[in-house]
Amino acid sequence: MNVLGIAGWSGSGKTTLVTRLLVELVGRGVSVSTVKHAHHDFDIDQVGKDSHKHRQAGARQVMVSSRVRWALIEELGASPELGLDELLKKMSPVDLVLVEGFKSGHHEKIEVYRKGCSDSQLFPNDPNIIAVASDVPLSEINRPVLDLNNVAAIGEFIVARWDLSVQKK
């Protein structure tokens, strides 16, 4: 599977870009999945629902299934957090996995840089950043600079990078 990270500081617009890229890439016939890293405890269950009761009662895994989707919730307990490579092994094959977060990972990434969000950029210290999507022109940069507001152009960059156009359905 092709893996592309969308990295940047908090508030830079990573989620907005991922959401817009999903629409753009899926519209081009690319099959895309996502991985989102959370730096905090999170819960996809709703208190009071049966699956939440099962997990609270001590189930290590809880699977919820319906006609339209299924989800597997696994409690790590005292086990260490899974790394990106381990998480990717659990996913079904697709043309591209967009990864939000895991900014210190060794996968290729596009940095999202928004003026005023942070004074520092990630790309000078990360050789895995293949391009920067920015809302302002950047100088003295040895990587492609993409217009953060032109999602079609960013999508074209991604499709060309992995030759995904031949995989259109």
pLDDT tens by residue, 121-143:
999 999 999 999 999 999 889 99
**Taking the domain 2-40+80-167, which CATH number applies?**
3.40.50.300
What gap in Å lies between CA 92 and CA 75, rounded to an integer? Answer: 20
Please give the pLDDT value at position 168: 47
* H/E segment holding residue 113: strand 109-113
The pairing of strands 61-65 and 32-36 is unpaired
Sites in the chain below the pLDDT cut of 70: 39-43, 45, 166-169
Please give the pLDDT value at position 41: 64
Please give the pLDDT value at position 120: 86
Nearest to 96 by CA among 7, 13, 28: 28
